[in-house]
Structure 1
Amino acid sequence: MNTPFRLDIQTVTAGPLTAWLIEDHSVPVVSLAWGWGGGAALDAPDHAGALALGAALLTDGAGELDNVGFADALRDNAIGLGFDAQRDGFEGSLRALLPALPEAVRLANLAMTAPRLAPDSVARMRARAVAGARSQLETPRGQVGRAFWAAAYPNHPAGRPTGGTVETLSTLPEQAIRDALARQLRAGGVLVAASGAITAADLAALLPRLFAGLPEGAPATPPPLPDFVPFAPRIIDVPAPQSAIQFGQPGLAVSDPDWEAFQVVLRILAGGGFSSRLMEAVRVQRGLTYGIGAGLDTLFGQGFVVGSSATDNAKVGEAMAVTRAEWARMAAEGPTAEELDDAVAFLTGNLPLQFTDSRRIAGTLLALRRNNRPIDWLDRRSERLRALTVEGLRGVAGRLLKPEALSVAIAGRPEGV
């Protein structure tokens, strides 16, 4: 008999700030994760990449510490600290041994409230970002991803690269970076999660210090996400013997009651490694690709089905025809009872592995908060999964899988498309 999976999540309040905490004193380590909405979607089109570049610069010198001094302070105290700009949000995280936690909080606050953005740091980080953007354009996988999202959202920030382009990064004014950070790093609108060797009382005392000095108010709300635009195959000519393929379709809102049921459908269809239908049909039976898979990506509170594969140019047409056929078969028939049992067994058994260290725990809790999940969401997940039926999943597959809307971008010289 399976032991029910339970998490002891505490809600910690400190003035206007709240955090979710899983307390664990088995090792003297504390991890924090925090984030805001907004993200790279708030960058002006001609300043795309400003926030991502700003995120990289936050730990490259702050306050009285230049870039070397800041790096030394992190290293000498074994502190992990980082910031990440996403299309629809911005996150920070830290991890420290308990004795170093006060210093970790001080450095994190310093980075957010007094980043130096020294000219030599800006020049170095800009050069790195430009090189990264140029390198991405030189790879089929990078080109196909950029083409896919640009076609799906041609008139929205979701359709452009989070880190900017070679063109926008090369001409990006330093003031645009400062402005991007100023509109994102705010005292309001922040969600916090924590895990490790810290009590609720100590966390409540720590939170005001972490965000002290940030401007009042929350980041602006990005423009609403329009509908996913299905598109005819987009082909980016790349002189290579293989093609990189990205395919996808609209999904469902994170708040949709069929969210988990659709995850199970997608695992059976495309996300279960060698146990998935796509892997069996495309690789095992026909040898058309080394690997193929798809799953739910989330953006602006919406889930999208996104998958990828790569194959010889001559085999692209057949690989996509088989993919579409399996897509249509799942939409029409749904999964078998055996497939449902296997998928639920994996998902329920795999859940505890998300909680093997404090950093992963804090990150998972923050994701739950961003998706507006109730605090007992994971406690009841296994029960919800075991309640799924073949008939119910057939209805979900028929409602949400859209073979006719499956959009494809290909980088290579594909045949038969």
Structure 2
Amino acid sequence: MNKVTCVTLWLLVIGGLQGCLALADTEPQLPAVVQSPRLQSLAELDAQTPASRALKIHGWKSPSGGKVLFIRTPELPMFDLHVSFPAGSTRDGQHSGLAATTFSLLNEGVPGKDLSAIIETFDGLGAKTKMSIEQDRASLSLRSLTAIDKRDPALLLFTQILGQPLLTDEALVNVKKELTNILKTQQQDPESQITQAMIDLLMAGHPYAQPVFGTEKSLAALSREQVQTFHRQAYSAGNVLITLVGDLTLEQAQAMSLQVINALPAGSKMPPVIPVPRRQVDATSRHIERPLNQTQIMLGQPGVTPQHPDYMALRVAHMIFGEQKISSRLMTELREKRGLTYDVQLKNTLWEEGGTAVISLNTSPQFSEGAVKLVQSMYRDYLQTGPTQQELDDTLRQLRSSSALNSASNSQILARLVNINQYDLPLNLDFSIEQAQKLTVAQVRTALNKHFDADQWSVVTIGPTVEQQPLPLPTNEVPQSMCRAETGIVAS
């Protein structure tokens, strides 16, 4: 085989990457690579705070108790309307799946229109709707042009879905079949299985552990009368949260929110969900046997709500440990140094009365136990030392930059405003970011040790039971180029 040599390829990517080429017979003399300083434009960005858009939040409450937040963005002739209710699975009570069934029936039919006609009408107006349900809330959204001939009919149909769903027996039968099929699919999906198993461990006995779509047995027992009663109670004018972003005047936004509220059933506010108690028992574990090529692993602990004074310190701490993709401590150790997994992340689930912090990864079955112990050991060290000042500085800079980027579109602004509305946060899009900029390493470390314990990770695994092997030893250095192959190995 011809002699092989490695030459530097200059790629048009920020930072410059290196690759390897196979060359024959000759070894040309290459100029020495000069280490140039960083681009001046990038250096200047470090000292600058990205400018955020001037977005004023308007807020008001209706006489019935419904809450409205609005931001005017006149750049495009469109608006986004988001409406949510305390109608998630935590409200099921003894009738598991009641909330999901009621939610699924909303767009099955309104006076004069069935599901097909509803879809056709929205399509003809160029409007888009979305629906979602989770533990706390059921949400529906409408995006439409602000032209009167598009806006008014779209809004009218949307309010009929919210306040005048037919909830027929025929539609109930169809929805039950659809939800039953979803449950059967989840029973075969490893991701759904491990996620529900982790919630069961962390939230045992609490309404948050209730399956969002109920069970096959509970769905079969639901009646139309139960659905109608739940709709009148949960989807009432006193329970609604309305969030508006778009090319509307304040007067137009107020009129639009009033139209939504007036279309809803009259009713009192739903009682709040009981707070998640501070866990006093030892961490637990569960293994689900499945013949998979890789073992899925989850480690979880209860977290805090977004309203908690320590929330931002914990968010920053966990960004450094496991949220920041490639730069996180978990990715550096488990992927870059040991090659144990393609991806590992720490994600925070936020609920109105609780939350979770969950570390998830896939790895070869023979390394599953060692990977769990390694993550636990890394977190124990992290609790003792906290982040470095450099890690904290880099993360705060990232948050400042993302704040401006995440206000570029109406949908991004809407998502941030919905969080403020749902969790009753201060009326300032940048409030959390501003809080974070004041954090010190000591404050972050104190918050971590106050709310988390290295020995309190509940663990769920799903995969085959195999003989365990020692983990691969870490490499001395993290590769800094895309050319990861050993010397002498060349792609052909």
DSSP-derived class of the 1:404 partner:
coil
Q: 2:332 aligns with which of 257, 270, 280?
A: 280
Q: 1:249 aligns with which of 298, 301, 306?
A: 301
1:319-338 alignment runs, 5 A limit: 319-338=371-390
What's 1:95 paired with?
143
Q: How many residues align?
A: 415
**Is residue 8 from structure 1 mapped to residue 59 from structure 2 by the alignment?**
no
DSSP-derived class of the 2:298 partner:
strand
**Is residue 204 from structure 1 mapped to residue 254 from structure 2 by the alignment?**
yes
Verify the 8 A CA contact 1:297 1:305 in the aligned structure 2. yes
What's 1:344 paired with?
396
Q: 1:186 aligns with which of 236, 248, 252?
A: 236
1:114-193 alignment runs, 5 A limit: 114-193=164-243
Offset of residue 309 of structure 1? 1.2
CA distances 1:328-347 after superposition (whole Å, capped 9, x unpaired): 11111001111111111111
Q: 4+ runs of 1 displaced by more than 6 Å?
A: none
Verify the 8 A CA contact 1:152 1:230 in the aligned structure 2. no
Offset of residue 118 of structure 1? 3.2
Verify the 8 A CA contact 2:340 2:363 in the aligned structure 1. yes
1:213-224 alignment runs, 5 A limit: 213=263, 214-224=265-275
**Is residue 84 from structure 1 mapped to residue 132 from structure 2 by the alignment?**
yes
Which 5+ residue runs of structure 2 have no aligned equivalent?
1-47, 470-492
Verify the 8 A CA contact 2:297 2:459 in the aligned structure 1. yes
Verify the 8 A CA contact 1:235 1:409 in the aligned structure 2. yes
**Is residue 312 from structure 1 mapped to residue 371 from structure 2 by the alignment?**
no
What's 2:76 paired with?
27
Measured in 2, the distance between the counterparts of 1:381 and 1:7 equals 15
Structure that is richer in helix per residue: 1
Measured in 2, the distance between the counterparts of 1:201 and 1:106 equals 18
Q: Given residue 321 of structure 1, which amino acid in structure 2 is its aligned partner?
A: K
1:226-265 alignment runs, 5 A limit: 226-228=277-279, 230-265=282-317
**Is residue 391 from structure 1 mapped to residue 438 from structure 2 by the alignment?**
no
What's 1:404 paired with?
455
Offset of residue 389 of structure 1? 1.6
Measured in 2, the distance between the counterparts of 1:388 and 1:227 equals 25
Measured in 1, the distance between the counterparts of 2:282 and 2:144 equals 45
What's 1:356 paired with?
408
Measured in 2, the distance between the counterparts of 1:382 and 1:224 equals 26
Verify the 8 A CA contact 2:305 2:351 in the aligned structure 1. no
Offset of residue 14 of structure 1? 5.2
Offset of residue 4 of structure 1? 4.7
Measured in 2, the distance between the counterparts of 1:362 and 1:134 equals 34
CA distances 1:208-264 after superposition (whole Å, capped 9, x unpaired): 211224222222333443334653211111122322222211222322222111111
Verify the 8 A CA contact 1:29 1:97 in the aligned structure 2. yes
DSSP-derived class of the 1:246 partner:
strand
Verify the 8 A CA contact 2:380 2:454 in the aligned structure 1. yes
Q: 1:266 aligns with which of 318, 327, 337?
A: 318
CA distances 1:25-56 after superposition (whole Å, capped 9, x unpaired): 111111111223352111134x3222112212
What's 2:91 paired with?
42
What's 1:74 paired with?
122
Verify the 8 A CA contact 1:232 1:408 in the aligned structure 2. yes
Q: Given residue 400 of structure 2, which amino acid in structure 1 is its aligned partner?
A: T
DSSP-derived class of the 1:253 partner:
coil
Q: 1:230 to 1:139 in 2, by over 3 A?
A: farther
CA distances 1:253-277 after superposition (whole Å, capped 9, x unpaired): 3222221111110001010001011
Q: 1:297 aligns with which of 331, 349, 352?
A: 349
Verify the 8 A CA contact 1:340 1:390 in the aligned structure 2. yes
Verify the 8 A CA contact 1:14 1:205 in the aligned structure 2. no
TM-score (normalizing by structure 1): 0.93
Supply the RMSD in Å over aligned alpha carbons.
Answer: 2.1
Offset of residue 414 of structure 1? 4.4
Q: 1:230 to 1:87 in 2, by over 3 A?
A: farther
DSSP-derived class of the 2:109 partner:
coil
**Percent identity over the alignment?**
23
Q: 1:18 to 1:173 in 2, by over 3 A?
A: closer
**Is residue 365 from structure 1 mapped to residue 417 from structure 2 by the alignment?**
yes
- State which drifts further: 300-309 or 367-376: 300-309
DSSP-derived class of the 2:301 partner:
strand
Measured in 1, the distance between the counterparts of 2:113 and 2:387 equals 58
Verify the 8 A CA contact 1:38 1:221 in the aligned structure 2. no
DSSP-derived class of the 1:123 partner:
helix
